[in-house]
Structure 1
Amino acid sequence: MTSLQAISPIDGRYSSKTKPLVDYFSEQALIKYRVRVEIEYFIALVEHGLPQLKDISESKFQDLRKIYNEFSSRDAQEIKEIEKTTNHDVKAVEYFIKDKFDNIELSEYKEFIHFGLTSQDINNTAVPLSIKEAMEEVYHPALEDLLEKLEHLAQDWKDIPMLARTHGQPATPTRLGKEIKVFVVRLKEQMKFLQDIPNAAKFGGATGNFNAHKVAYPHINWKSFGKDFVQGSLGLHHSFPTTQIEHYDHMASLFDALKRINTIILDLDKDIWSYVSMDYFKQKIKKGEVGSSAMPHKVNPIDFENSEGNLGIANALFEHLAAKLPVSRLQRDLTDSTVLRTIGVPFGHTLIGFSSTLKGLNKLLLNEAKLNEDLEKNWAVVAEAIQTILRREGYPNPYEALKGLTRTNEKINKDSISQFIEQLDVSEEIKEELQQITPQNYTGI
């Protein structure tokens, strides 16, 4: 299958942007993570000193770990062939590993592969492990690249005055860099929340109670073993007690946090799109590019639109995942299984969104002349400053006086503001202070 035949655009048109996620969320990746958990579990049983495994030396651990460290597409395909017979994906992994044991002279220990486990002990460790590593190795670097760009722009534009707009109308001036800084701080705050969300895993047998483990080895503290394995060997948080499946509460919290981050970037996309439409930004033109099939003059803000669309799709899926996964009938139903397979899709759309926003930001060219022109056209915005100083001086009804001046259909400009100041019954010192205020310097702290 080529990218032209892919049904999903994340595997088709945008496959180059989502390729880093293949190692974490593809079918082959899921199979590999399952193999890895099974192998590490077997090693943990050996290390724990099960009597039947006492003759296995640590020198075998390297051979065991090669099974997943050198896992190939051919191995994944072999497991899929086994699954055609078993009609069970995790059981196929177990049989695959049993075959591998013959090659490393561990045949007599085959029955301790998947010992006492149910498939969800593998799925509910493999999936959060894949999410954890995808977050560390793909998601965070991509978000940090975008954040770094925004920080640079906030610094570069920190002294650029800009007419603000509230309710779409001219409002108290601000600075362009400060407005970008707002998004920087919002993203950093949400990134802190991400760090506090555990990557939780379930490991406890068919209904979460280590029943099979305890009946076979009643004197072993299996709860302690499970915690040590999940947290020590896999680096995940051990959820206990559970039903057959992990609660998914922490995973839902993660998806909600990712959705909030996407929403912040989506908000940024819309703001930048609006600034482009107001001509505050031009865009770098790439030779050969076409902005419109009919209008040759157009250079459209397509990157921000692309990001907005992809982040919207990602959020719809994250919202469904967060709402659905924590709900399961009694000790377990199968709905989580098929839903878990789609986790890579919202990550894919998120990655496309990040990439598109970053691409769009890199194409922006500041049009300072237009920003200054809009400030000059809106001298009425200094009315707030004037009436505030008049309040300070105890001037009677300053708000009403400025309201009378500014809420007329007559154009307010530098001259009309200056004339208004000169007719005020205040000292020359206060008049001089008021005359110094301009839309360009009334930008706060």
Structure 2
Amino acid sequence: MTADLGFGGQARAAYAQEPFKSLGRLYPEPDSPTRTPFQRDRDRIIHSSAFRRLKHKTQVFVYHEGDHFRTRLTHTIEVSQIARSLARALRLDEDLAECLALAHDLGHTPFGHEGEDVMHECMAPYGGFDHNAQSLRVVTSLEQRYAEFDGLNLAWETLEGLVKHNGPLVSPDGAPLGKFAGSELPFAIREYATKQDLKLATWPSAEAQAAAIADDIAYDAHDLDDGLRAGLFAIDEMKEVPFLASILEEVDRRYPGLEESRRIHEIVRRSITRMVEDVISEAMRRLKDAAPGSVDDVRNAGRCLVDFSPQMASAEKEVKTFLFARVYRHEDVLAVRKQVARVVRELFAKFLVSPDLMPAPWCNGLDSLNEDQLARRVCDYIAGMTDRFAMDEHRRLFDDTPELG
């Protein structure tokens, strides 16, 4: 197997992650004769139970609202496609970028960000909840498929990218950064750090950075698409955002009188194309300036190298502000969010008081758990639920389960 070639025989850049120079797995395993370590990781993620459950987890619109809206699974696939495109253009390891895109949402609760917010609220006395940290917990502990270890035993680079895809988590002296500043890192990350050093003070690989920005691009594009198709806002309202207004003007000039559904598709795909091309151009500029000669040079560059240009970052922020007002805070979406928040909150309270109501193996060995451990087990159980299963569990335990919609 050729070690230094990427897609179609294209040579990987010097700053790309070389799959055959991986730092290995927590539990050593023989190399695969047919797959690189990152191809193997990708396959393990795709075959995991947590990955399959993404098809019934909310992105923005809850499952009952229609079959054409995005779910966590379809979002994940779209992120994967964009991440591979970026990696190919930048001569990175496409398999690692894809792998990280496929794994990035495995820790999400049912009911989207509302479920995560409520879970964090419930877990506040016990160390809190963070979906990114929960993704690490899923792939290192909760998936139990192998005879010799818990988790998927993914390569070091995959775990590093999963945890640090948005940048360093701690300063060189170990102080938490970003949203964790002044607090502490999430439980799952602190727990795993006792087993394996993921070098939390450095940036991750360029492949992880590509997967992270691909997530933003996919989010913006498909929430525009879903919001329009759900009737939460009209196409002409997008003229309030200069970036979207320019795309709308371009589409209408080239295709006057175009039917609405095709008009929406043209707007969405052109949004993705502009953002992807901007990231490629900006990343190439930053990589040229930084001149990294290895993946470790990328990690120690002191800044993100695969990102939007300042102009596109500003435009993308305006798109997110628009979506926040028109979609995420729309009264119809908020009404459903309030209902599902009650479902998660009540499930947590019920299982915390009566953990024996959880099915085996979740209720096994309860006598050996302290209060924090019990809360974490309840959290793991609920976080792994699909939207539908959470509703079914609520109906099993309560007489007043809300009817969504």
- TM-score normalized with structure 2 length: 0.29
Higher strand proportion (structure 1 or 2): 1
Higher relative contact order (CA 8 A, sep 6+): 2
- TM-score normalized with structure 1 length: 0.27
